[in-house]
Amino acid sequence: MLVLGVESSCDETGVALVEATGRETPRLLAHALHSQIDMHEAYGGVVPELASRDHIRRLVPLAREVLARAGRPLADADLIAYTRGPGLAGALLVGAGLACALAASLGKPVLGVHHLEGHLLSPFLSADPPEFPFVALLVSGGHTQLMRVDGVGRYETLGETIDDAAGEAFDKSAKLLGLGYPGGPQLARLAEFGDPTAFVLPRPLLHSGTLDFSFAGLKTAVLTQVKRLGGNVCEQDRANLAAATQEAIVEVLVKKSLAALRATALERLVVAGGVGANRLLRERLDEACRRRGVRVHYPELALCTDNGAMIAMAAAMRLQAGLARAGHDYAFDVKPRWPLEQA
Ligand code: KG4
Ligand code: ZN
């Protein structure tokens, strides 16, 4: 079975072709991605209307590219999958519209996928795929959640952020330090030259006894430090503050992940979402988990941030699990807000 997947929930346009045979883990045949980062950078963040318009421009050429790379005609696709939510409504509608139009033209079924389920299942595309059950740390620009995952479609939220997401904390702190968008990778780069102990920043909810997160106070603390330093923050101070911010976010994510593993008595951790690309987070998790005999799985670096492969993969795994209702109803809708447990 061939699944063509389309992602357009935010600022990356992604298309991919995945092949599923029987109950074997589906395999990625080809994927193509266009990032809108350069376009949004001038505005310091994603401009929803520009995002939608760019998805319109990019989707068809990307689909052609994927099919050409895989050496398969569009008519070979057995299912067209798209991101139904959560995300920017206009951007989601572009992907949903294209997916339904392609499916209708072929008379093939269509399936709307939950974006976070895509992230969650993306490590199954790696050379070292996980096995169920596991604890998942989902850390993206819009979400920070710890989940217990017992199988495809069997997700239980153990904890989540009560305000900003981890990616948002990276992005907002980066902006305060005068860095561009998206701030996560840029802050991480600057942090390499800094001393994380030069500034004392809070670790919100670290000892709350729950698995919830809070990052809004961290951003405020960074703002306070920037103000305290006055108008002329020198390069070393910026690097030190970047390192201290990264250290605070990573420490909270690592300690809460370990607490979730303890609470569930599970011995496997899956990390997914854009912040999962962070090198310090990976190093710290690897080290902490090695000491506890816990296996950690990550998506391939290129598939950490948004992409079409994870959407095609989630659709294929849902079908294999007998959970999906792929239909021939091409009257699509999207869900800008959509809890994962209701997917
Ligand atoms: O999963 P994703 O591509 O989009 C959402 O679904 O939100 O995640 C994007 C987020 C952004 O906040 C970005 O700053 C962050 O992931 N990010 C990173 C790194 N790479 C991306 N944060 C820290 N370190 C990185 N290396
Ligand atoms: Zn995402």
C-alpha of residue 307 to centroid of ligand 2, in Å: 8
Closest CA to 280 of 178, 189, 180: 189
Please determine, for residue 124, whether its predicted confidence score (pLDDT) is greater than 80: yes
Please determine, for residue 1, whether its predicted confidence score (pLDDT) is greater than 80: yes
Are 173 and 191 a contacting pair, CB within 8 Å? no
Q: What is the mean pLDDT of residues 114-128?
A: 95
C-alpha of residue 75 to centroid of ligand 1, in Å: 35
Containing 295, the helix (H) or strand (E) segment is strand 295-297
**pLDDT tens digits for 32-52?**
999 999 999 999 889 999 999
Identical fold between 2-121+303-342 and 131-298:
yes
User: What pTM does this model have?
Assistant: 0.94
Identify the CATH assignment for 131-298 out of 3.10.20.80, 2.10.77.10, 3.30.420.40, 3.40.50.300: 3.30.420.40
- Any idea which ligand is nearest the CA of 175? 1
Residue to mutate, 40, 137, 140, 298, ligand 1, most ligand atoms under 8 Å from C-beta: 140
Q: What is the mean pLDDT of residues 255-277?
A: 97
Containing 147, the helix (H) or strand (E) segment is strand 144-151
Q: What is the pLDDT of residue 77?
A: 98
Q: Among residues of the chain, what percentage have pLDDT more than 90?
A: 93
Q: What is the mean pLDDT of residues 44-64?
A: 97
Mean pLDDT of the chain: 96
Q: What is the pLDDT of residue 232?
A: 76
**pLDDT tens digits for 8-30?**
999 999 999 999 999 999 999 99
**pLDDT tens digits for 138-153?**
999 999 999 999 999 9
**pLDDT tens digits for 287-297?**
999 999 999 99
Residue to mutate, 170, 172, 283, ligand 1, most ligand atoms under 8 Å from C-beta: 170
Q: What is the mean pLDDT of residues 94-116?
A: 97
C-alpha of residue 45 to centroid of ligand 1, in Å: 13
Nearest CA to ligand 1 atom 14: 184
More confident residue, 212 or 329: 212
Pairing of strands 110-114, 27-35: unpaired
**pLDDT tens digits for 317-329?**
999 999 987 788 8
**82 Cβ contact list (under 8 Å, min separation 6):** 5, 6, 7, 8, 95, 96, 98, 99, 100, 110, 111, 112, 113, 311, 332
Q: What is the pLDDT of residue 141?
A: 92
Q: What is the mean pLDDT of residues 249-256?
A: 98
Of the chain, the end-to-end C-alpha distance in Å amounts to 22
C-alpha of residue 339 to centroid of ligand 2, in Å: 14
Ligand 1, residues at Cβ distance < 6 Å: 10, 140-142, 167, 170-171, 182-185, 188, 273-275, 277-278, 305-306
Q: Which fold has domain 2-121+303-342?
A: Nucleotidyltransferase; domain 5 (3.30.420)
C-alpha of residue 301 to centroid of ligand 1, in Å: 11
- What are the structural domain ranges in the chain? 2-121+303-342, 131-298
Residue to mutate, 172, 275, 280, ligand 1, most ligand atoms under 8 Å from C-beta: 275
Nearest CA to ligand 1 atom 8: 274
Q: What is the pLDDT of residue 165?
A: 97
Nearest CA to ligand 1 atom 22: 184
**pLDDT tens digits for 306-315?**
999 999 999 9
- Which atom of ligand 1 lies nearest, measured to the CA of 12? 3
pLDDT confidence band for 168 (50 / 70 / 90): very high
Q: What is the pLDDT of residue 273?
A: 94
